A = this chain, B = another copy of it.
């Protein structure tokens, strides 16, 4: 995972992009992984750990309507989290994570292991959902890896988009 983070760092540096994170269920692990690379301060500015929904709303600017209508673990909310983090921290791209790491908190509609990841890059946002197997630690680790992959793909695929 740390080599994936280092690879992301190289791509961000090459493209002159800065990165922010907005984390719920991973609680800071994505930022922790990105900053495992020495020199990450040249592209990583910081992030918001928005574990409580109030923080998602009040600090990241997630709409109360989306939290109410779709729930914190949803595509619309992770898109707003990523865009909010990029705006707050003044970054060209951002990734967000919100999910149910377990062991509690799951439901029929939203089982343990369900994780949404959002990416904001150069003015656009997109989200993906996953259902990961494993315990709490494993769900969180897979979430970090998926966020890094999603960031790498998005940053690469939007490289020709004017900023």
Q: Report which A residues bind B (CB closer than 8 A).
A: 21, 23, 25-32, 34-36, 38-41, 44-52, 54-55, 59, 88-90, 101-104, 136-137, 140
Contact = CB atoms under 8 A, between A and B. Distances in A.
Given A29-B32, A49-B49, A55-B45, A38 B104 contact: yes
Nearest to A102: B38
B54 A35 contact: no
Contacts of A49: 21, 28, 31, 46-49
Nearest to A18: B52
B32 A59 contact: no
B51 A35 contact: yes
A92 to B, nearest CB: 14
A40 to B, nearest CB: 8
A35 B27 CA distance: 6
B46 A50 contact: yes
A29 B28 CA distance: 6
B32 A26 contact: yes
Contacts of A51: 31, 35, 40-41, 44-46
